[in-house]
Structure 1
Amino acid sequence: MEYQYDEESINALMKWAENGQFPNELRLSESENIVNLRLYIQANLYDIQAHYPDAFYNPAINRLYRIKEMLEAGGQG
């Protein structure tokens, strides 16, 4: 999936992250095991809220997109 960084897309992603129901843990990849998913999402939201649209912080946006993809696919990594 190609990620979108326009304001409308980011606002939709942040709304999803703020209102979603999440498991406690998520294995995002072989080397990424998130043990407190809610806290991890909140930390990325803080980065986005504080720094958007600075492209240096796009990795925070990418992490939320990857979590959303994984959860919507029903996977746990």
Structure 2
Amino acid sequence: MEFVFRLKATGMPIAQIVEFAELREKGNTTAPERLKMLQEHEKRLLAELENKTHSLAKIREKIEYYKKLAMRR
């Protein structure tokens, strides 16, 4: 159950979580399908993380800009 909560917390759609759980119930023969689902989810998370990291860097640049501007006053 903890893993299901982790999938939800990382943005996996409920329909995919249900599909993952149903595959899990079918046993180890569904391991390749579950592996593919997790790899695709990982790929989406990494892209999202890269995007957020880039956005954070830009926000930090603006913070430094405004700090310098504020110090001039």
TM tier, smaller = 0.3 to 0.5
Higher helix share: 2
TM-score (norm 1): 0.40
Question: Which structure carries more relative contact order (alpha carbon 8 Å, separation 6+)?
Answer: 1
Higher strand share: 1
